[in-house]
Amino acid sequence: MLIERGLVFNQFRNLLFYQTEWFDGLSDVVLSTARSASAEPDRITADLQLFKKIRSDCADDPDYFFKMLFKYAPELEARIQVIDAAKPPEDVGGWWLISIIKDQLTSGVEKPLSGFWDKLSELCQDERLLIQQDSQDIRNDEINRLGAKWLDMDCLPDVKEGAKYLVRIVLTWLAIYEHILREVTPGFDEFCPGPAYFRKFLPKYMDGKLLLSNAQFCIAYKEKHASGPQKNWSNLYARVAEAQGENSVEKIKKAIEQIRSGKRNLLWTNYRDNFRVLVPELNGEAFDEIEMIVLFCQLMTKVQLELLQHGFTEGQIDRLFSFYPDAYNKFTV
């Protein structure tokens, strides 16, 4: 789709929402969003006529999206300001989605905006100008200029460099996400201190094996929620079993171990049942913005497993993902 065009934001929606296997398509994204916010989620089902229309018609028109949310989840209307002239322009690409998110988050903010938002606008403008180029020669020059500027690499490389490009655009999205959370989430700096804090979710090669991003997420959760001074896995399994009302910890142990090893995806149901269940204040609440880190861990793990299948060594994968602090600093003023 046209909305997936760009260099840095290339395939942004497809990779983050669909390749993670969290959603089947745009209608599933809208359905999940509406159900999570509605006071009566059971009445919002996939067979409603408007959801069928999203599946059958062009999905790049946001009118459907807002119509769905406000018709079936009126609770969201006060939280979401519809962007004027939301129809996609002819040079639409991933930059357009990011611009809408930026405008939404900064609308009505009284305090002076930080330089991060200027950097994000600069990236969106670079992406838009690239899409507008008709000449392939000029376009190639722009691709290399933007690749050097935002990804520290030549983006017209031979095919073996494609893995570096994929990893670096994903890490750039993660960096933007962390910056946004620091800007809009109260208490985030205290909860996640230090720049590039999300580097703790990067894969790590140690003791002769690779810890995948989903494994790093599980470890972080254990450190925060396992009981007792040692914070071991047995304590975590016991806490999850108690929260679930489960008599045996074996089922929980198997699920979390499979997520850590990459044998099981970290999907919404697995996250809800084995991790979110330990945070009572989230029970029954809509998916919080900070929880999108779960989506990123799942996406990064999918990329890591794909790289292993294509012959990359565990050490090479560790080094590919070490770009994250540099990606984060691209948006630091």
Look up the pTM and report it: 0.84
Neighbours of 216 (CB within 10 A): 21
Point out the least confidently predicted range of 12-16, 64-68, 221-225, 313-317.
64-68
pLDDT of residue 175: 97
Q: Output the pLDDT for position 81.
A: 52
Q: Is the pLDDT of residue 133 over 80?
A: yes
* Residue of 6, 19, 211, 227 lying closest to 127 (CA atoms): 6
Pair 318, 303: CB distance under 8 Å: no
How high is the pLDDT of residue 146? 92
Give DSSP secondary structure letters for 109-129.
Answer: --SPPPHHHHHHHHHHHHHHH
Residue 43 has pLDDT above 80, yes or no: no
CB 260 within 8 A of CB 212: yes
Contact 31, 46 (CB under 8 A): yes
Q: What is the pLDDT of residue 211?
A: 97
Contact 172, 12 (CB under 8 A): no
The predicted-structure confidence for 259-304, as pLDDT tens digits, reads as follows 999 999 999 889 989 999 998 877 766 677 888 999 999 999 999 9
Model confidence at 22: pLDDT above 70? yes
